[in-house]
Every structure is written in C-alpha cells, then in structure tokens.
Amino acid sequence: MSKRKAIAILAIIAMVLTLMPAAMFGATNVDRLAGANRIETALKICDAGWKSADTVILAAADEANLVDALAAGPLAAQENAPILVTYKNSLNADVKAKIAALGAKKVIVVGAVSDSVVEELKAIAGVTVEIISGKNRIETANLINAKLKNVAGTFVVGYLGLPDALSVASYAAANYFANVIANSDGSVNKDNLRGATTYIVGGTARVADIDGVTRFAGSDRLETNAAVAKGLQFDFTKVYVANGRTLVDALAVAPLAAKTNSFVLLVEANKGKAVEGMSVSSQIIAVGGTAAVPQSVLDNLFEEDDEFTIKSV
C-alpha cells in the first residue's frame, strides 16, 4: 500500500470517528434497579442497600400523597433506613414481608396512609410504629426536620417545586441537611432554617430571594437538577438515573445514593443529558423500568448536543 493511500484511509477513519454519535462512546457500565411497579422498585432498592435495618420509613406510593414524604431522605440516612412505599389504604404483602425480613424494630410512617395500614404494621412481631404527618406538606417537613440531629444546613424548595427537593435529596441525606418547604407565595419562615448553610433550590417563582443565600435554579426541573450537580460536591463514580416526572423512584433511591454521596440524575421519558461531573466511566444505575427511564435515554446521555430528545414518529 502506498503512503498516499494509507494517509487517505487514516483520514477517512478519523472523519468517521468524528461523525459518530457520542452515544457510541457513551456509558457502557449501566445497571438497572427495577420492579414491575413502583412498590417493587423500592423493594429492589432496599435489597441493594440493606440486608437488615432497625428502622424502615414507609410512605404512600401514589403521587398525591407522596409529597409529604419528599423531605424524608435525611431522616432515612440518619436512621440508616430504607424508604419503602405502599398503597395508601392497604399494606402491600411484599412490603410487610420485607419489614419482617429486615428485622426492623420501628416503622416510621411519613405522610398520609390509612389507619388500616398502621394497624397491619403494628401486627408485625416486634415492630413499633411512629407516624409523622402534619396538616400540610410544610408542617410534615418541619416535623421530619425536628427529628434530625447535628443539622449542617438547609435546602429551601418551593411549595410546588417537589422535583427540586429530589435533586438535592441524596446530598441532603449524605450531608445532614434539612429540607424546608416555602409557602405557596414563595415566602420562607426563616425560623425553620437550621444549620450554618442555606441553599435555595428552584427559581424565584417558587422561592423568594433570601439575602446572602445561594440559589440553584434552571429553566425547568432538569436544568435545576444540572445546576445542583454543578454547585454541590458529589462523587460521580456512581450515578443513579430516575424519572423527574414520576417522583417515587427518586425518593426511594435517595438514602441508597447517600451512602456513596452519589448524584441522582433526573430525566424524562424522551429527554435526558449527562451533567457536569459525569463521565463515560461513571457507573450508571437506572431506577425504575424502561417506561420510566428508557434505554434510549441512557444510550444518549453523552450526546454532544446540549440536550438529547427523542422525536415522536
């Protein structure tokens, strides 16, 4: 082969490599924690992090009642407790069996579940039940925060900015931060702030400015998630990926991610991108089934475009 031909071949190879989609050089170390539904996914998360647990935190699985539990990550980390979810009006049999198998001595029920669920929990041998439930999400968060010890700081999120709470949930759990929810008008009761450092998560439409306080915010929940990744210190060796619209998986994985100070990346069913700090060598763990976190989104996290979007056809 002539030298000129060899150079031409190398040039063509270089051009092809340049034009290849970034996904072809994307994350190759991908795992998934998923069950047939959100309850089973939370059980899979529990299996990944806990062989035994003195305490279990239990929340309602439906979105309407889940909001009360979104501040529970730091309490779960403090108690080294998994977060399990069940139906509001009945205790899932597999959840009941898992509580017993873990050897739990206490179940902390956060938010709205029925009296019948509480009675079923009390029937588990050796288990006591504690209920944390306020008249609204603000009061419930404050009651959770009152249980925290050695609080280093506070994250303030909007009354309707619940995905923002999950963007910081693993950091809050790993670093002893409380979660305070702003009033519906964006105002904040400063008496509820704890610790030496306060951060606001979300835009000014959700939380009013507080003098001297750093804000992490973007144009939407995914951009705010990216701002959190950039502004706080995470270990990106392992990254959990959860759906930013159906929030239950991101809630359940927060105490597991906190064990390694890992980031929880929020994506949507047709959209997602890697954030600053991630690399193709990061271990990617999808949380939830392929309907929640499609494989196509995972395959394209490292696209060079600002954002990867799957177009409907």
pLDDT of residue 212: 96
| Reported pTM | 0.88
Question: Residue 79 is which amino acid?
Answer: E
Q: What is the 3-state secondary structure (H, E, C) of 69-119?
A: HCCCHHHHHHCCCCEEEECCCCCCHHHHHHHHHCCCCEEEEECCCCHHHHH
pLDDT of residue 312: 29
pLDDT of residue 66: 83
Q: Give the pLDDT band of residue 67 (cuts 50, 70, 90).
A: confident
Asked if 48 and 58 touch (Cβ cutoff 8 Å), the reply is no
DSSP character for 182? Answer: P
- Mean pLDDT confidence for 262-267: 98
Question: Residue 263 is which amino acid?
Answer: F
C-alpha neighbours within 13 Å on the C-beta side of residue 249: 31
* Gap between the terminal Cα atoms of the chain: 46
Q: Give the pLDDT band of residue 311 (cuts 50, 70, 90).
A: very low
pLDDT of residue 64: 78
Q: What is the 3-state secondary structure (H, E, C) of 293-311?
A: CCHHHHHCCCCCCCCEECC
pLDDT of residue 28: 58
For 9-40, write each residue's pLDDT tens digit.
544 444 444 444 433 445 558 999 999 999 99
Q: Give the pLDDT band of residue 307 (cuts 50, 70, 90).
A: very low
Q: Is the pLDDT of residue 304 over 90?
A: no
More confident residue, 243 or 7: 243
pLDDT of residue 68: 81
Q: Tokens for 40, please give them.
A: 């089973």
- Mean pLDDT confidence for 86-112: 96
**Neighbour-count burial of 299, counting CB atoms closer than 10 A to its CB (0-12 exposed, 13-18 middle, 19+ buried):** middle
- Mean pLDDT confidence for 210-236: 97
For 135-171, write each residue's pLDDT tens digit.
999 999 999 999 999 999 999 999 999 899 999 999 9
More confident residue, 251 or 310: 251
The residue extents of the domains of the chain are 22-309
Q: Tokens for 53, please give them.
A: 């647990």
